[in-house]
Amino acid sequence: MVDYLEEIVGQETAKRFIRTAIKKEKLYNFLFTGPKGVGKRLFAFALSKILNCPPHSSNFMLVGPIPSKIKDKEDKIFEYSKTYLPDNPVVEFEDRTAIRIDQIRHIIKRLIHMPDIGSKRIVLIIEADRMTAEAGNCFLKTLEEPPLDTFFILTSSRPSFLLSTIRSRCQNIRFTHLNSEQISNIMFEGQDDYLLGSPGEIMIFQENDLLKSACDIFKQCPLSAETAAQTAGVYERKKLIDLLYPLLLMYRLVFYKKLNIAINTTLEPFLNRKANALSVERIINAINMLDVSICSLENNPNRLLLLFNIFMKLP
């Protein structure tokens, strides 16, 4: 049996757990949790190949969050889901994506048919925390009693958003940030300027059109009410997560500066200025506000007001 886990950089604890489970033939539903961009999705693909259920095969099924603009059309959902396959090293989520009940029903319908004799069948659900409440409740019964030779792999960077009943029916395997040496083994260019520990996120940042805008806003804060309103109007229809997430990381770097952690980035002068001007409490409040705002993006209908509120409160 080929050990495809060797292809994964880092995550040695997760590797040991999975190898032991395979050796003892104690495979159950797995929940891979941890930061975005550290290898949860690729790890799931590697495990699928070990069990002879590689992506694109009939015994492998993939479910991922779908943008709200795709309306219940099976062929379009299938086409969009291809973005999550290993051919794409980076997957970006739009502000408003969700795993909907029709996707779960489609999987349940396909699971009625038995897998090939002597083979396993895997259902991989990417960012499972994005299941709607209806989808989660629909999925729960199948998760509790999986069909013969079928098990589920769920990934999540926000496991607290998953139904507790789903979490309790999976073995939780924790993934961690990667160190600088491990990241350099994956990436041949691009530095970890934001102390992300995530090669996936670094690659996303390399193509982020709003990164410069986020830096400019960070340098100007605090904004006046007039400037906050004008800025909110400019970015209301943009991909907000690409603006707010870099802001979150910048204030996190300010917090690191406050803790005297060494940082090597072109933002050093501005980080020093913020760290000297702000208390720890104000920095933490800014981080918490941005984090909550990002998590609630898909459920917030008034993006203009959301942005105005953020820009008015950022120190």
Mean per-residue pLDDT, 64-71: 80
Given this model, what pLDDT does residue 71 score?
Answer: 67
More confident residue, 72 or 44: 44
- Position of tokens 């998760």? 143
Mean per-residue pLDDT, 102-126: 84
pLDDT-derived band at 315 (thresholds 50, 70, 90) equals very high
Share of the chain above pLDDT 70, in %: 87
pLDDT-derived band at 81 (thresholds 50, 70, 90) equals confident
Q: Decide if pLDDT at 77 tops 90.
A: no
- Give me the CATH topology for the region 210-313: Zinc Finger, Delta Prime; domain 3 (1.20.272)
For 193, the token pair is 């300027």
Q: Which of 170, 3, 312, 252 is nearest to 304 (CA)?
A: 312
Mean per-residue pLDDT, 93-122: 81
More confident residue, 191 or 303: 303
Given this model, what pLDDT does residue 175 score?
Answer: 93
Cβ–Cβ < 8 Å for 30, 14: no
Mean per-residue pLDDT, 174-190: 73
Q: Which of 305, 253, 288 is nearest to 274 (CA)?
A: 253
Share of the chain above pLDDT 90, in %: 38
Q: Which amino acid is at 166?
A: I
Mean per-residue pLDDT, 243-254: 87
Residues 6+ apart with CB under 8 A from 305: none
Q: Which of 228, 223, 227, 216 is nearest to 305 (CA)?
A: 228
Q: Which of 11, 3, 59 is nearest to 38 (CA)?
A: 11
More confident residue, 263 or 99: 99
pLDDT-derived band at 10 (thresholds 50, 70, 90) equals confident
According to DSSP, the residues that pair with 123 across neighbouring strands are 61, 152
Q: Average the pLDDT over each of 44-58, 74-88, 144-158 and give the range with the smallest value.
A: 74-88
Given this model, what pLDDT does residue 298 score?
Answer: 65
Q: How far is CA 232 from the centre of its chain?
A: 25
Number of neighbouring beta carbons within 10 Å of residue 13? 12
Top mean-pLDDT range of 69-78, 108-117, 195-204:
108-117
Mean per-residue pLDDT, 3-26: 89
Q: Decide if pLDDT at 236 tops 70.
A: yes
Given this model, what pLDDT does residue 169 score?
Answer: 93
Mean per-residue pLDDT, 270-296: 89
pLDDT-derived band at 228 (thresholds 50, 70, 90) equals very high
On average, the pLDDT of the chain sits at 85
Q: Decide if pLDDT at 95 tops 70.
A: no
- Superfamily holding 4-176: P-loop containing nucleotide triphosphate hydrolases (3.40.50.300)
Mean per-residue pLDDT, 60-71: 84
Q: Where are the domains of the chain?
A: 4-176, 210-313
